[in-house]
Structure 1
Amino acid sequence: MKSPSNLDEMLADAQTGKYRNLVLVEGEYQEFLAKVLNTFIKINPKPSVAYYFHPWKEGSKRRLAWFESFLRPVDVDYSSSEKYLGSTFDMVIIDAIDDFRPSYISRAIETVRGGGLILIYTDKLHENKLYKSTLTRNGKVADLFEERIRRKLKEHRGIVYYHDGELLLRPFSSAEVSKPKRTKIGRYPELARLCYTDDQVKVLDEVDFLLEDGKKLLVITASRGRGKSSVMGLSLPLLIELSRFPLTVVVTSPTYWSGAEIMKFSELSLNALGKRYRRVTSKDGKILSLEVGDSRIRWLPPELARDYHGDLIIVDEAASLGKEFIDYVLRRWDKVALVTTVHGYEGSGKIFLRFLDKYEGDHDIQRLKLDSPVRYSKGDPIEKFLYDTFLLDVEADGENHVGQVVEISPDQLFHDEAKLRKVYGILVTAHYRNSPDDLMMLGDFTFQKIFVAETDVGVTQIVEEGDLTEEAVKSILQGEENLGHLIPHRLIKYWRAMEFSKFKGWRVMRIAVVPNLQGQGIGTQMLRNVENRAKEENLDWIGSSFQANYDVVKFWTKNGYIPVYLASKKNESLGGYSVIVIKPISDTARKIVDSLSLLLKDKLLRTSHQVYFNMDPRVIVSLLRSTPSVGLGVDMPDLYVRKIRAYLNGELPYNSVAESVHRLSEKYFTESKFDVDEQSLACLVSRSFQGKSWYHAGISLGIPSKIVETKLKEALSFILDKYKLN
């Protein structure tokens, strides 16, 4: 078959092959866009179209009106574009005049079906863009990410690039793809007919694994666009039909819209099976519950879902919710299905999948992988463009470390494709939630430094913060954001530590080591290198902000970093509470850091029962033990000591001595004069400070509730003896 040679043939061939084309217009755009639109409409007279833009920006609605003279698009505000993840269009038009945020662009492109067209137009990729402005400091910002976009537009096929009057066509051929198809009917023909691929039919045929006796874990993985969420939705009514008993199925996801496909396809499945059901929706049309007789499929946010009393929990985009959440769910629930993206704009789940290996033997695990796309043909050129341009499929590996840490500039990195893939692969593999925005930051920040542990086995990315103006401090105190100075911003806003504003420091934005070399001290070595460089530059502090995961907190506190801040509200999209740790360099910074850390200690001791009830108690222990001691800070009445002794002897129940246990625990963590077994302290914190039941304390710690009380008693006895309290 002859390959396309012009725009008309490209668009027509894409219809035949069910693949996508991308047109990017940079510069004067109206005349060329009119030609593209008229050509597409000739091939597809009534296309479904989505138009992505910022409707509140001046001039944006006027530009939309011009397109409406050709088409009748659905207008989509960038900020609410997540709602359209399950939608499919023949064409998307992306207004990149006001913004060119990579995550928005990627999300919009993913909603185009095979044979469709992605049309992006802008005046200049690198100027006057909203997201780009957040990467700018003192008027300086780089264009390395945008340069990379332009290079990739010229390298890939299925691309039309029109730049200031110059046209580049890189045609693709339908002979190079295989269309989505289903050849199998499987065990459930009425539902298989709703599937696009044999991969999806396989899930239907094997999902009844979850109904077998014992603890079961089903893991469904795929790159984006493989229909993993939709087939999970088709499966749920089938499980209800196959079950001998009524089922309560809980569906959860980082946001409702990231799990909406499961609820949507559950309803389609119910209709296909001829089931009568009751549909419960929110005012804005979200399907919250589907009730079939005594059975129910219900969506709940993660914090409510994890402790809900049900038979089966489905976690969509599981890797995005993080290890701590999934760890808890797998201890709490017997029947679990995890659905997660391995490669995609929401991040890599590769390291997450390795974490699941530890549950072999506890749960029976069945893993299903979907390879075939459902919206477009396999081999689609735009998928290749996205993966290559945004490095969605990079991996990290390394076999040796030469013991040297070197600095590399973003310019060097972005002009060495092999090294960029290695370095970014390490960052992606070490963090559950990444997006193309992170790649733009790596390229365009001018106030950053990048250190690499040779031979490309570890990466540290730091940003410069502090030395704020009085105007900046005032805006922070009034509640305004101060982008680019995260640590000073949080300490000024929430601790009112205005004196911290004048300090200069480095925030370790990311530090990562290839998985097979972790635990060998490479991360610590990179930190020491950064610390030495910071001292040479006469900085006041080095710090980091991250989600309060136990292993991460232990890494930082082990390396001498002092916790000074813990968010009072959980970041639901990231799955945890943000914590800030600092290693002071100057004497003045040390005094302030110590005082802030004592404030954090006090906050944890007084508010864990309400603010941090759902936090991993081991994290609280690590934070408390890493804050300064205050000497003899808490009196211990003799009556309280006698009551605790009576509890230890079995003469009084725990509830009768709870206040005495709390006082002794407060004394220990305030004074911190000796070490106690960490697990025993976690039991103490979970029951006393957080106020968990024995059962929930055991779930939080992964041990039986009887062991929780045993370990708590061991801690109490040890502390009393050390203090010589009889």
Structure 2
Amino acid sequence: MNLAGVVAPLQAEAKRANERRLLTLAGERAAGLDAAREAVASLDDADVTVVTARERVAWGERLAPAHASQLLGTTRDAVVLDAHAGVSANVLGRVVGAVDGGGLLVLVTPPLDDWPTRRDDTDERFAVPPFTVADVTGRFRRRLTELLFAHPGVAVVDVDAGRAECDGLTDPPPARRRPPPAVPDGAAFPADAYRACLTADQADALSALERLRTPETAVVVEDDRARGKSATAGLAAGSLAAAGRDVLVTAPSSRNAAEVFDRAAALLDTLGVATDRDDDGRHISTPAGSVRFRDPEAAVDVIGGSGPADAPDALIVDEAAALPVRRLETFLTGPPVAFVTTVHGYEGTGRGFDVRFRDRLAASDRTVTDVRLDDPIRYAAGDPVEVWAFRALLLDARPAVDPVVKGATPADAVYRALDPETLLADEHRLRETFGLLVLAHYRTEPDDLARLLDAPNLTCRALVVDGHVAAVALLAREGGLPPSLREDVYEGARVRGNMIPDVLTSQLRDLEAAQPVGYRVLRIATHHALRSEGFGTRLLSACHDEFGDEVDWFGVGYGATPQLVRFWERNGYRTVHCSTTRNATSGEHSAVMLRPSSPAGEALYDRHARRFYRRMRDGLGDALQSLDPDVARAVLRATDAAPAPSLSAHEWRVVAAAAFGPGLYDTAPGAFADLALAHLTDPAADLSPRAERLLVRKPLQAWSWERVAADLDYVSTRECMRALGAAYRPLVERYGTDAAAEERRRYE
């Protein structure tokens, strides 16, 4: 076969249009890789990366699929992706973005007719116990195969038969030359910063970022991949540092922010500013300013004011959509801030950022400036490989438009099973479903699409209004593990896809927790035009009715906020665990809640609810001492296994004396803690939120009087002490024994 006869015209038109092309080489692995080597060898002085699970290749730069993230922010003339060991949707998304305009993405696959049914490493990842590889399907590979023939710019070659099945040619017009960006009149940033921009979009965004010099401002920079948002943020950071300002940069990981620091350093070098950059490149110092990285949790501490000298002059949040809304809100309390985010990306969804965060940003005291980058930098607009990748990975999936569902009520909706075959056969419904799932979580990835289509442990249900998906729930079947695997988990082994049994077994030391079978609610989302109308509750209720006889429990694990805890509590879920550490990205403690549906599920819940009560009694004064009091109130109230308070007669007299007379808290702090815990776990209890926060902060978390008074806005420690006594009066009346009543009568 004359492979050059396919490659040469394919690359020639890619260069002419400044676009990319996709070359698929289907067949046995050795023949496919030999053909890939021949294809890239015909490219002049090509910079080639081969992404393969093979130990070595004799040509190009070899990169293991697990390290494909190293390609983010880089460019290659060609990338070869060996899909014989498996095709991760995440890896595919990463390698596509690394190919430069005029370059080739080479996909080496098994024969396309049997690729969907071949077993590979991806199937191993989706075969969560007790399911096996035989239970995993190949629908995602089937979808990829079909789309290879459905899109322009994609050539398909059968290397075994030696024939081209599709030449991939589109006959595009030559690429237009971009005019160089102009330096705006009156620009505050250096002219060299604007000259470093590659598009007018970048220059406009850089001009907007000049507002980071002004207090109480926020700038939102959005783009799709390869538009230069991070580079522009780096030029802004370098400009601010050159002017003597301290710029704090945060992102889900330091890798995400690498481009920001590289561009900042390059600009400072161009400006002739002396710099000192640390070994990992995440701190650049100038004689008067700096650009420094902190992870999201540490960034909150910095802007929170650990000291005036440490407070930055500006904050840049890169890949902002990959952070939860609660974390983003904390960044509004600090210096001028830029939220830099990808609209359609696997790091996090800009659509979710828009729906979930925009209202809170608008309600803040910030003056907000929005700017969007549309022009690709590395290739021409309308690039066919980008179009193919967006569709294949559903990077631009979104829910139904507002007008088609707005005004609907839960009674208007029809409960539907969305099995993978149904979704695969209906692109419109698949896009609406996945679009809603994207909004349900801030870190939805392309692998989640493959998991939705292929994983045997997942079940999808929806409420549909006039043919459109109004709410969707994704359930993961967990538990039912054999005794040998339960023993392994108890002894520290990790088990995929069984989050709740894993936590209850390995962390909470329950050897039998992984025996009952349950459904964990992995995602639940309601269309943003229908929120707070009861759709989520109706959908959960339908799921409980459908599956309640099949499983022992329903469960959920999530970053706890008071609002979310109350939602799950209203739907019959009860707390059994609150993590002692915060998630470094979200800044939230995770809660695990169960809703029993069988005697085995009741037994599982009962023993863990009792243990949770005892853990919180001691943990709030130790590992959970910084837990938000409103989260503590919510998770404690959402359990119904609390015993009646057990205080001695002497302890009751101490508490009653402190509530109604001259008694002192310090005489028996344990008794006050026990009584506070009893109240906070009592569904019928009735105290003001402020009084309950006081019960959390002082008796349970053992904060000092001075710290509690400052945290809860009491004018003095004396007033705080009096308020605590007052809070215990109704508790003594509700739970107190004869000894408490007798002590109380002394002061009436």
Instruction: Name the TM-score, length of structure 2 as normaliser.
Output: 0.85
* Deviation at residue 15 of structure 1 after TM alignment: 1.6
The answer for the alignment partner of 1:410 in structure 2 is 420
* Deviation at residue 659 of structure 1 after TM alignment: 7.8
Give the structure with higher Rg (CA). 2
Paired-residue identity, %: 25
Task: Please state if 1:447 is matched with 2:460.
Answer: no
Match of 2:432 among 422, 425, 441: 422
* Deviation at residue 313 of structure 1 after TM alignment: 2.0
The answer for the alignment partner of 1:721 in structure 2 is 730
The answer for the alignment partner of 1:317 in structure 2 is 319
Q: Which moved more, 1:124-133 or 1:322-331?
A: 124-133
* Deviation at residue 588 of structure 1 after TM alignment: 3.3
Task: Please state if 1:594 is matched with 2:589.
Answer: no
Unaligned residue ranges in structure 2 (runs of 5+): 303-309, 734-739
Task: Please state if 1:260 is matched with 2:254.
Answer: no
Q: 1:178 to 1:502 in 2, by over 3 A?
A: farther
Q: 1:694 to 1:487 in 2, by over 3 A?
A: same
1:335-350 to 2 correspondence within 5 Å? Answer: 335-350=336-351
The answer for the alignment partner of 1:132 in structure 2 is 123
The answer for the alignment partner of 1:530 in structure 2 is 543
CA distance in 2, matches of 1:678, 1:543: 27
Match of 1:385 among 385, 388, 394: 388
SS at match of 1:668: helix
The answer for the alignment partner of 1:375 in structure 2 is 378
CA distance in 1, matches of 2:315, 2:722: 34
* Deviation at residue 305 of structure 1 after TM alignment: 1.2
| Preserved contact between residue 548 and residue 577 of structure 1 (Cα < 8 Å) | yes
Q: 1:191 to 1:373 in 2, by over 3 A?
A: same
* Deviation at residue 578 of structure 1 after TM alignment: 3.4
Task: Please state if 1:122 is matched with 2:120.
Answer: no
SS at match of 1:499: coil
The code of the aligned residue for 1:17 comes to: A
The answer for the alignment partner of 1:198 in structure 2 is 200
CA distance in 1, matches of 2:380, 2:706: 50
* Deviation at residue 704 of structure 1 after TM alignment: 6.6
The code of the aligned residue for 2:144 comes to: I
The answer for the alignment partner of 2:736 in structure 1 is none
CA distance in 2, matches of 1:498, 1:37: 53
Q: 1:687 to 1:439 in 2, by over 3 A?
A: farther
| Preserved contact between residue 180 and residue 378 of structure 1 (Cα < 8 Å) | no
The answer for the alignment partner of 2:272 in structure 1 is 274
Task: Please state if 1:669 is matched with 2:680.
Answer: yes
CA distance in 1, matches of 2:531, 2:507: 34
Match of 1:293 among 287, 293, 308: 287
Q: 1:670 to 1:507 in 2, by over 3 A?
A: closer
Q: 1:34 to 1:184 in 2, by over 3 A?
A: farther
The answer for the alignment partner of 2:305 in structure 1 is none
* Deviation at residue 483 of structure 1 after TM alignment: 1.8
CA distance in 1, matches of 2:625, 2:108: 48
| Preserved contact between residue 26 and residue 125 of structure 1 (Cα < 8 Å) | no
* Deviation at residue 94 of structure 1 after TM alignment: 1.7
Q: Which moved more, 1:31-40 or 1:655-664?
A: 655-664
The answer for the alignment partner of 1:92 in structure 2 is 79
* Deviation at residue 688 of structure 1 after TM alignment: 6.0
| Preserved contact between residue 5 and residue 171 of structure 1 (Cα < 8 Å) | no
* Deviation at residue 519 of structure 1 after TM alignment: 0.6
Match of 2:506 among 493, 510, 513: 493
* Per-residue Cα deviation, 1:240-278 (whole angstroms, up to 9, x for no partner): 344xxx533211111110111111111112112221121
* Deviation at residue 722 of structure 1 after TM alignment: 3.7
CA distance in 1, matches of 2:457, 2:46: 45
The answer for the alignment partner of 2:19 in structure 1 is 19
> Aligned residue pairs: how many?
694
Q: Give the superposed CA RMSD.
A: 3.2
* Deviation at residue 615 of structure 1 after TM alignment: 4.5
CA distance in 2, matches of 1:377, 1:39: 23
* Per-residue Cα deviation, 1:481-538 (whole angstroms, up to 9, x for no partner): 222332222211122222333312222222111011011111101111111112343x
| Preserved contact between residue 177 and residue 379 of structure 1 (Cα < 8 Å) | no
The code of the aligned residue for 1:88 comes to: T
1:465-614 to 2 correspondence within 5 Å? Answer: 465-537=478-550, 539-572=551-584, 576-608=588-620, 610-612=622-624
| Preserved contact between residue 632 and residue 671 of structure 1 (Cα < 8 Å) | no
The answer for the alignment partner of 2:397 in structure 1 is 394
* Deviation at residue 170 of structure 1 after TM alignment: 2.4
The code of the aligned residue for 1:144 comes to: R
Q: 1:680 to 1:262 in 2, by over 3 A?
A: farther
Q: 1:77 to 1:466 in 2, by over 3 A?
A: same
CA distance in 2, matches of 1:196, 1:382: 21
SS at match of 2:261: helix
The answer for the alignment partner of 2:156 in structure 1 is 161
Structure 1: 4+ residue segments shifted above 6 A: 644-648, 654-661, 691-699, 703-713
CA distance in 2, matches of 1:101, 1:591: 40
SS at match of 1:175: coil
SS at match of 1:269: helix
Task: Please state if 1:78 is matched with 2:76.
Answer: no
Match of 1:144 among 139, 143, 146: 139
